[in-house]
Structure 1
Amino acid sequence: MKIMRPLGAVGIVASAALVLAACGSDPAASNSSNSSSAAAPAATGTAQVDCGGKSPLSGEGSTAQNNAIDVFKLAYGKQCSGQQVNYTASGSGAGVKQFNGNQVDFGGTDSPATGADLEAANKRCASPAWNIPMVVGPVAVGYHLSGVDKLVLTPSVIAKIFSGGITKWNDPAIKAVKGNESFTFPDKAIQVVSRSDESGTTDNFQKYLGAAAKADWTKGAGKKFNGGVGNGASGSNGVATTVKGADGSITYVEGAFAKDGVTPALIDSGSGGVALSAENVAKSLDSATFLNAGSNDLALDLNKIYASNVAGAYPLLLTTYELVCSKYSNPDVSKAVKAFLTTSATTGQQQLSSKGYVPIPQSLQDKVLTAIKAIS
């Protein structure tokens, strides 16, 4: 199932610093508080790849990165003739479980494996397991509401909608957000649509609310939706399809799905409404730090991004990780994992913008390649 598609109506904003493909801009995706500062350079170039090892390599997990994995597999096949990767897009929860159960060679997850999951991964590997960030993508607060084509929401309002504190579209709190004054909101119930399956997107979304709207989101985080309102649908495609068919509905979904009837809201974190675009996501990455500084486990601490109000920065994003062993018991698996990930982090990044992703910045690419080189 093809999960990530071009941002289309969202409008990937071309940026030389990001080496993004020229997709044309959409007025709805323009940023009302744009910053002139340059974004961090995107990952570019190639790296020496030692081909060989296990084929096909096996992976499972994140649906959000499925189209990116397709790009990576093609690049890997060209770089290492005859080498293949089988990847099953079953969701982040399943990916971590399958990796920890030694059923696949790497797991794909939209939030880093931590706590008990990381402990289980360490046990499976008989060595430290590492989270390697490989794909960056924005998360949209996507809605379908007739007559409203450029909705602006604050973190507080978003938190109240997804926890049941705001239940009608004509609630004064929505009207009061700067940018919404010209709209006539209907006396219509808000239909919240969440992921019914365990999802890293859900985890990231709830972490965002916890960081950006602490007073209004007390539901915690995790791969299961804790809001207690609305209805669930399975997978990214499931929630997007549900919203497309229901006027008055709203969801959280990877940015590539905010199209064809699902409109991404602008987010006002205190510096004006900011549209979902690759350029604006890249500005947010400037403040990224790591949970384990100095380690090759490159789990990002996104709380600073989520809680920021930097002008022109779109704060709601996710990073998908490849969960790997720092040391594999089978050298053929280790060799293939290193070759695949090296290709993915270099030549594979060059085609991601056309699939709705944001290529990883050069500074992050350097750390990723260092970690991959250390796998044995």
Structure 2
Amino acid sequence: DSGTTENFTNYLSQAAPDAWPHEAGGQWPITPRESAQGNSGIADTVQRAEGSIGYVEMSHVHGMSTANIGVGGEFVEISPEAAAQVVADSPRREDNASEHDLALDLEYGTTEAGSYPLVLVSYETVCEEYPDATEAENVKSFLRYVVSPEGQEAASAETGSTPVNDTLREQLLASIDAVGVRD
């Protein structure tokens, strides 16, 4: 099972339901001519095999050609800004557990100009209450760094990920501030 495969097949089923007849899932639904384990293995295989096509996280592209995706009458090149546009335009899931649950219902089928809809969002999951103040403050400190401009730039430099925008950062900080101590 692969989260990248599940995300990619979810994108295909939402963006091109008439052309992609398969259910979204973590297993590739068609027998591949060649396969590999993990993003690094797939990236290596695509680089070695002439004429091959594959899908990997952006952090594994390493100079390979990428696909521009047709969105709203234009073909959009992958970039942090184009990926961030989809995240910014996507609503929260309707079944989120609480007001502090910021899980998104990604708009894979967007027609918004300049959006690159094939994105995957990483989430941090923490408890809303901890048994003692030190533990709660350690969790909050870690998360504040992760969502800070410095933390986001460090992650982006390391992985090629897209930093969160200021609006989402404010929402994340409000959720982080809600972490407290169990009564």
Pairwise same-fold verdict (TM > 0.5)? yes
Matches within 5 A, 1:1-376: 198-222=1-25, 224-230=26-32, 231-260=34-63, 262-292=64-94, 295-302=99-106, 304=107, 306-329=108-131, 331-346=133-148, 347-355=150-158, 356-376=160-180
Q: Which AA in structure 2 matches 1:207?
A: N
Contact 1:267 1:274 in 2 (8 A): yes
SS for the counterpart of 1:289 is: coil
Equivalents in 2 of 1:218, 1:324: separation in Å? 37
RMSD of Structure 2 on Structure 1 (CA): 2.0
Deviation at 1:327, TM superposition (A): 2.1
The answer for the alignment partner of 1:154 in structure 2 is: none
Task: Give the direction of change, closer, same or farther, for the CA distance of 1:218–1:340 in structure 2 (3 Å limit).
Answer: same
Q: How far does the alpha carbon of each residue in 1:310-351 deviate from its partner, in whole angstroms, 9 at most, with x for none?
A: 222211111111122222346543332111011111131233
The answer for the alignment partner of 1:135 in structure 2 is: none
Equivalents in 2 of 1:270, 1:247: separation in Å? 32
- Identical columns (%): 37
Structure 2 length-normalised TM? 0.84
SS for the counterpart of 1:226 is: coil
Structure 1 length-normalised TM? 0.43
Kindly indicate which of the two structures has a greater share of residues assigned to strand: 1
Equivalents in 2 of 1:339, 1:236: separation in Å? 31
Unaligned runs of 5+ in 2: none
Larger radius of gyration: 1
Structure with more relative contact order (C-alpha pairs < 8 Å, separation 6 or more): 1
Q: Which AA in structure 2 matches 1:205?
A: F
Equivalents in 2 of 1:316, 1:328: separation in Å? 36
Task: Give the direction of change, closer, same or farther, for the CA distance of 1:331–1:217 in structure 2 (3 Å limit).
Answer: farther
Q: Which AA in structure 1 matches 2:37?
A: S
Equivalents in 2 of 1:252, 1:218: separation in Å? 19
Equivalents in 2 of 1:352, 1:239: separation in Å? 22
Q: How far does the alpha carbon of each residue in 1:51-74 deviate from its partner, in whole angstroms, 9 at most, with x for none?
A: xxxxxxxxxxxxxxxxxxxxxxxx
Unaligned runs of 5+ in 1: 1-197
Task: Give the direction of change, closer, same or farther, for the CA distance of 1:232–1:323 in structure 2 (3 Å limit).
Answer: farther
Contact 2:80 2:162 in 1 (8 A): yes
Residues paired across the two proteins, number: 175
The answer for the alignment partner of 1:99 in structure 2 is: none
Kindly indicate which of the two structures has a greater share of residues assigned to helix: 2
